Amino acid sequence: MPRTSTRLTFAVLATGAGVFSMLQSLIAPALPTVQHALHTSQSTATWVMTAYLLSASVFTPILGRVGDLTGKKRTLVAVLVTVLAGCLVAALAPNIGVLIVARIVQGVGGALFPLSFGIIRDEFAAAEVPGSISNLSAVIAAGGGVGIVAAGPIVSALDYRWLFWIPVAIVAATVLIAARYVPESPKRAKGKVSWAGAFLLSGWLVALLLPLSQATRWGWGSPEVLGLFAAAVVLFALWLTAEARSRSPLIDLRVMRLPAVWTTNTAALLFGAGMYAIWSFLPGFVQTPSAAGYGFGASVTASGLLMLPMLVAMFLSGVLSGRLEPRVGAKALLTTGAALGAVACGLLALRHDEQWQIAVVAGLFGLGIGLAFASMANLVVGSVPPEQTGAATGMNANIRTIGGSIGAALTSVLVTGRLQPSGLPYESGYTHAWALLAVLLLAAAGAALLVPARRPGRTVRTPAESTRAPARVR
């Protein structure tokens, strides 16, 4: 097959990753509608989100590694077909059980992130890689914002099933174009998939994320939560041991220990805590009836529109970061992005009485998301060997998701821990939550400052070489 324009390749990658990112947040505002339409309980309906989260956390690093070993384009097309099937089943789901299964299938699409970053690194000219990764990161970040903004109008004008029918059409076209025009990279990692490592990784991720997502219902001191946390610790220890002894580890721990990688992953964990908590709870805050003493009683559509400045800002800053990175460095952009997020949460804790204040905070937070997303991806891709790109970027995305689960769980405790007689949260719960998120994002900025600076012209080495003398990342 003749070599294809990198613009077409990028368009395919951006479409696939953007749709998956949109699917993460698109259904959240419509959960009450889904609950009513499928005649189920609120606790059961939340599994539509939880199943997707768990599935994505498991498949993102595993299929990223599979792509490194067997071919990124081949794996990309297979993942897109799987997402297409998941969207189709979800659109036709006759009951909540089938919808939850469909969301598990859709979660396989989490692998689109590391596969796309790997294809860009393999196929694009070296000078184009940082800017292309920044632009793709901007699309991924904006995809989540599009989901929040678009859910209300789609459900109001059509039906919640169109939240899946629309992605069916987009992903179907993307599959055809990807199969025909995205080139298969000749670069392959050596070895085979460590299925023992994959099993243990899946085990500790599920054992960690499941209680974090369900603890407010089960109770933090419940046997289920405590037992799963204990299992997560044991399985994590077993996974580390298995990966360290494996000749072909799923995740090369030497790469994870590189200074630029572990510091970036630490920042990703803390930044994810703030980002996902804001996405999850800010719409609910503005939808709260003003009779509660705060909030604006906004509809799902109106609350989505208040998030529009965040969507625009995160896309523009993500694209802009690609131009800024060669001049100021990804480290400075990550630090700035986390700091902007901290400022936004701090302002939100102090000023949230007017809708324009929410819009300003959303825009400021969006600027931070755009800068941080792009710089995290560039820092990881620029610090690991080419054959580890998929696995390393997959783990970075996963660590951000773990942080998001922790942030959402902590925020939920503060917001719902004490309720008014009407059943609505007190304003102080939200205020304390925003303040906590500001602290977490400040910590993310501190972690970003620990990322080692890279001198221009340095190249990425093999894992063994990197362990002896790690490449320094700017």
pLDDT in tens, 245-270: 888 887 888 888 889 999 999 999 99
pLDDT digit string (tens) for 79-136?
999 999 999 999 999 999 999 999 999 999 989 988 998 899 888 888 888 888 888 8
Q: Tell me: do 235 and 143 sit in the same domain.
A: no
Q: What is the pLDDT of residue 64?
A: 85
Q: Tell me: do 238 and 329 sit in the same domain.
A: no
Q: Tell me: do 72 and 106 sit in the same domain.
A: yes
Q: Tell me: do 384 and 440 sit in the same domain.
A: yes
Q: Tell me: do 51 and 177 sit in the same domain.
A: yes
Which one has a higher pLDDT value, 439 or 44? 439
Among 247, 269, 289, give the residue marking a domain's end.
Answer: 247
Q: Tell me: do 262 and 205 sit in the same domain.
A: no
Q: Tell me: do 125 and 162 sit in the same domain.
A: yes
Q: State mean pLDDT over 166-173.
A: 94
Q: Tell me: do 201 and 260 sit in the same domain.
A: no
Q: Say which residue the tokens 């009683």 belong to.
A: 297
Q: Tell me: do 89 and 165 sit in the same domain.
A: yes
468 has pLDDT over 50: no
- Residues 6 or more apart whose CB falls under 8 angstroms from that of 196 comprise 242, 246
Print the domain residue range for 200: 194-247
pLDDT band at 474 (very low <50, low <70, confident <90, very high): very low
Distance of alpha carbon 446 from alpha carbon 266, whole angstroms: 10
Q: Tell me: do 373 and 235 sit in the same domain.
A: no
Q: What letter would DSSP give residue 292?
A: G
Check residue 2 and give left, alpha or beta (phi > 0: left; psi -120 to 50: alpha): beta
Among 139, 166, 188, give the residue marking a domain's end.
Answer: 188
Q: Which residues pair with 425 in a beta bridge?
A: 419
Q: Tell me: do 423 and 390 sit in the same domain.
A: yes
Q: Tell me: do 142 and 265 sit in the same domain.
A: no
**Residue 408: closest CA among 273, 295, 318:** 273
Looking at the chain, the number of H-run helices and the number of E-run strands are 20, 0
251 φ/ψ angles, rounded to the nearest 5 degrees: -120, 115
Among 139, 157, 188, give the residue marking a domain's end.
Answer: 188
- Residues 6 or more apart whose CB falls under 8 angstroms from that of 357 comprise 347, 348, 351
Q: Exposed (0-12), middle (13-18) or buried (19+): which is 457, by Cβ within 10 Å? A: exposed
405: domain CATH number?
Answer: 1.20.1250.20
pLDDT band at 31 (very low <50, low <70, confident <90, very high): confident
**Residue 241: closest CA among 66, 233, 353:** 233
- Residues 6 or more apart whose CB falls under 8 angstroms from that of 52 comprise 23, 24, 27, 103, 104, 106, 107
Q: What is the pLDDT of residue 4?
A: 54
Say which amino acid occupies 86: G
- Number of compact structural domains in the chain: 3
